[in-house]
Amino acid sequence: MRQGQLDAETIPLRLGTRRSALALAQSGMVARDITERTGRPVELVEITTYGDTSREHLAQIGGTGVFVSALRDALLAGRIDLAVHSLKDLPTAAPESLLLAAVPPREDVRDVLVSRENLELAELVEKIQDRPVRIGTGSPRRMAQLNAWAREHGAAIETVPIRGNVDTRIGFVHSGELDAVVLAAAGLHRLGRGAEISQYLAAQLMLPAPGQGALAIECRADAPELAAALGVLDHPETRAAVTAERALLAALEAGCSAPVAALAQAGGENELRLEGVVGTADGATLLTMSTTGPLALGESAEQSARAIGLALAARLLDGGAAGLMGERA
């Protein structure tokens, strides 16, 4: 082995990450996996994004991309070698100069309730009779589905827009300001805080965001050797699922400000089942459709997964989805 190659393999890879506790936990997990699988040391480089510093609600500041652009700028400028994102934060259109090198195995895709007295949603509604149950979330998707559930069950619920990290959001419950908050199961699991979950919300009640529970590892397109090395962390089944979900999202031209949900899962041998929901934030109308399509093997898997997403998006648009989404971000 030549000295130059040896030096390159011992120089730490610079992994860009947001500064939040969750982002650091996720990036630390990826860093350990990279070192274990490739032998390369990895150091975390903390980067502050606009989404971390702004106090506006996500729908007001553009939603998708606000947690990503600073990391991508650092990648393109060569200040870091790779970046780790929550996949649901990635815009559906990627710069040609960057590669999605790996999508590791997905965590639990479900949303969860963290509530006062550890009560489930139906129990909260039954217990609190003198006023609406106050539930915090920064997601129009979650608001739409919570409000739809409330309409269906004749329940009094008030969805309250909130921002902040996991501690801040759960703190609204502990302080009594809110009765519950809705969070992603994956984040609480990665933080080792699963014991705080009061209820896992079934997909029939709360379909997740496209890409929820998955991570994205990006590097520059002009670093093919690094991309190939990072590829050992890729999980083909997860990549196919999120490809279908994100294709649907892209075709609907919807960002975080629009109530859109999607979940792709294995529908049988070499098949993928995709469900999508588009609705109004008040829950008055939810358009739900699903489709199952063949999933090719190998390099063609992404192409066939994308076709499934586009097919369902076309059906949703034909069914009136565009009229339900309101103004796009």
Average pLDDT on 26-49 reads 95
Residue 271 falls inside a structural domain: yes
Q: Are residues 32 and 86 in the same domain?
A: yes
Q: Which of 156, 179, 201 is the last residue of a domain?
A: 201
- Across the chain, mean pLDDT equals 90
Q: Are residues 274 and 185 in the same domain?
A: no
Q: Are residues 179 and 318 in the same domain?
A: no
Q: Are residues 144 and 160 in the same domain?
A: yes
Distances (CA, A) of 83 to 30, 43, 90, 167, 270: 10, 11, 12, 24, 31
User: What's the CATH number where 246 sits?
Assistant: 3.30.160.40
User: Cα–Cα distance between 307 and 240 in angstroms, integer?
Assistant: 11
Range of weakest confidence among 28-37, 152-161, 189-198, 247-256: 247-256
The pLDDT, as a whole number, for residue 309 is 97
Residue 206 falls inside a structural domain: no
Q: Are residues 20 and 99 in the same domain?
A: yes
Q: Spot the catalytic one: 89, 108, 111, 179.
A: 89
Enter the tokens of residue 105. Answer: 């195995």
Range of weakest confidence among 60-64, 136-140, 150-154, 255-259: 60-64
147 pLDDT more than 90: yes
User: What's the CATH number where 71 sits?
Assistant: 3.40.190.10
Residue 208 falls inside a structural domain: no
Q: What is the pLDDT of residues 290-304, one digit of tens each?
A: 999 999 988 899 999
Output phi, psi for 279, to 5 deg.
-155, -175
Q: Are residues 229 and 240 in the same domain?
A: no
Residue 43 falls inside a structural domain: yes
97 pLDDT more than 70: yes
Domain limits at 220? 1-104+214-234
Please state at what angle helix 166-174 crosses helix 21-38, rounded to 10 degrees. Answer: 140
The pLDDT, as a whole number, for residue 325 is 56
Q: Are residues 189 and 288 in the same domain?
A: no
Q: What is the pLDDT of residues 265-319, one digit of tens each?
A: 998 889 999 999 999 889 999 999 999 999 998 889 999 999 999 999 999 999 9
- CA–centroid distance for 71 within its chain: 17
User: Cα–Cα distance between 146 and 281 in angstroms, integer?
Assistant: 9
79 pLDDT more than 90: yes
The pLDDT, as a whole number, for residue 5 is 42
111 has catalytic annotation: no
Q: Are residues 7 and 95 in the same domain?
A: yes
The number of folded domains in the chain is: 3
